[in-house]
Structure 1
Amino acid sequence: MPHTDPGLSSGSHDTRETRDVPLPPELRALLTDCHRQPVLPEAPGTGPLLDNLAGWGPAGTPAGPFALVPVRPDRDLDRITAWMNDPAVAAFWELAGPPETTAEHLRGQLDGDGRSVPCLGVLAGVPMSYWEIYRADLDPLARHYPARPHDTGIHLLIGAGGDRSRGLGSALLRATADLVLDHRPHCTRVVAEPDLRNTASVAAFLTGGFRYCDEIELPGKRAALMVRDRAHRHLF
């Protein structure tokens, strides 16, 4: 399980394994009811498991409005592939290669049930980062920490080198976590698991309002479990 960049990149998860984690019965029933309706396929990010992420709208940051826009491979694949081939990103995401490599990674989420949504981070109208917003309580990560229902996880990378290592990552982490908490009323905390070797990334989470909770062993890395709590968000 790859993760985290010197500027800011918190890594990805194995989407094939994620799809093997069974849904709780009440969520299976919800999805079954939704799929009984004779409608066109949903656009990315509009499913119930992440409370219609596509409709969340922007958050304010010191650098301008920031929005999560669900990925469309026909529009975004070349851009994300270029980011994945940046050596600073590839060192932790391990997805360098041709567009087919990135497309396969995206497909694992886009063909799933909506528990993980790949997004572009758009700052002041400019796509400049890649994010994965996912149900941590329904992810293999939940086997490694005491997960709570509706825990929501984030992975990210900042695409352009000029946007890294200048404090922007912390502002975007705070904005994204607060978007989750504002639009997912049943979610009490946002979690992340950057690689412990990436001290710059861990520091960015701390500055972005997350607290260090634990050190956990994950496939392929030892990680810092970072948490932003709804109950304490006004304090940090």
Structure 2
Amino acid sequence: MPPTDASTDAGTARAPRIGPGSGPGSRVGTGSDPGAGTDCEDTLDLRLPDELIALFAEGTGSRAGAPGGTPDGTPDGTPGGDDLLDRVGGWGPVKTPAGVLHLLPVRAERDLPLIHRWMNDPAVAAFWELAGPESVVEDHVLRQLDGDGRSVPCLGALDGTPMSYWEFYRADLDALARHYPARPHDTGIHLLIGGVADRGRGLGSTLLRAVADHVLDKRPSCARVVAEPDLRNTPSVSAFLSAGFRFSAEVDLPDKRAALMIRDRALRDLL
């Protein structure tokens, strides 16, 4: 496949109202056995995950990445109780061939101006659809920060310089799971490369591979990392393939036709 270009790294695309931060109509997930789905066969398990049952039973509503920390004193981005993403804020640095990447859970008062500027880049806006006043980006981010922890937005700092925006989400607990055979603990990734100078040189693929493997290392119960770039964004699909994801299927989402990309734990050393 051809190398990535600016539109690739800028637009590893979000599925509006399907990915992280979607509303209460999001589909609950598909089981909780950490050993399930360790191969790469796409199958469907219809059992509710234990942590979701516990979440409903206890009525918890932890605040992922809330500015200033959470009421129980846990750090930003590491909600107390049953964190659905294994405390993203505590995953630590990601070593990549391009440098050391730190994933910093978003703090609205600190990060919104920068994210807003990136979202208004035409190459980004074409796929993320979050251009406009800062309130548009604020609403998108706060839906995640005020949610139940199934989605965590992060700023990516490469060797100390903020240069990317990431969203990590429980794909099996998301509305996306209505559109593919989800497995327990499937973890979704969205990526935006912010700086124009960082696009078009394969950096997106480099970071995607390193971060996807970091997810698998930090989430032992997760057997697959998934993504759903817009099929029209051929360079983006190519970037995921170069990062060791495999093309699984075309899926019709409400706002786009997407390529379902999967990086399997079982195949990580082969792709």
What TM-score does the superposition give when structure 1 sets the normalisation length? 0.91
CA displacement at 1:62 relative to structure 2: 1.2
C-alpha distance in 2 between matches for 1:126 and 1:16: 26
The aligned amino acid for 1:63 is: A
Q: Provide the residue aligned with 2:67 in structure 1.
A: none
Measured against aligned partners, the alpha-carbon deviations of 1:19-60 in whole angstroms (never above 9, x if no partner) come to 433654622454465959995365443131000110001111
CA displacement at 1:165 relative to structure 2: 1.0
CA contact (8 A) 2:27 2:175 kept: no
Q: Provide the residue aligned with 1:119 in structure 2.
A: 154
The aligned amino acid for 1:134 is: Y
C-alpha distance in 1 between matches for 2:27 and 2:263: 26
Query: Structure 1: which 5+ runs fail to align?
Result: none
Q: Spell out the pairing of 1:35-114 with structure 2 (5 A cutoff).
A: 35=60, 39-40=71-72, 42-47=74-79, 48-114=83-149
CA displacement at 1:193 relative to structure 2: 0.6
The aligned amino acid for 1:64 is: G
C-alpha distance in 2 between matches for 1:73 and 1:36: 19
C-alpha distance in 1 between matches for 2:26 and 2:163: 31
Q: Provide the residue aligned with 2:167 in structure 1.
A: 132
CA contact (8 A) 1:44 1:117 kept: no
Structure ranking higher on relative contact order (CA contacts 8 Å, 6+ apart): 2
CA displacement at 1:98 relative to structure 2: 1.1
Q: Provide the residue aligned with 1:199 in structure 2.
A: 234
What TM-score does the superposition give when structure 2 sets the normalisation length? 0.80
Q: Provide the residue aligned with 1:27 in structure 2.
A: 51
1:232 matches 2:267 = yes
CA contact (8 A) 2:154 2:165 kept: yes
1:223 matches 2:258 = yes
**Alignment partner of 2:14 out of 9, 12, 28:** 12
Cα RMSD over matched residues? 2.2
The aligned amino acid for 1:108 is: R
- Number of aligned residues: 232
Measured against aligned partners, the alpha-carbon deviations of 1:53-99 in whole angstroms (never above 9, x if no partner) come to 10001111111111211100110010000000000000111110111
C-alpha distance in 2 between matches for 1:36 and 1:111: 8
C-alpha distance in 1 between matches for 2:101 and 2:262: 21
CA contact (8 A) 2:49 2:184 kept: no
C-alpha distance in 2 between matches for 1:168 and 1:198: 17
For the structure 1 residues 28 and 141, does the alpha-carbon distance in structure 2 shift closer, same or farther, using more than 3 Å as the test? closer
Once the two structures are aligned, what percentage of the paired residues are identical? Answer: 60
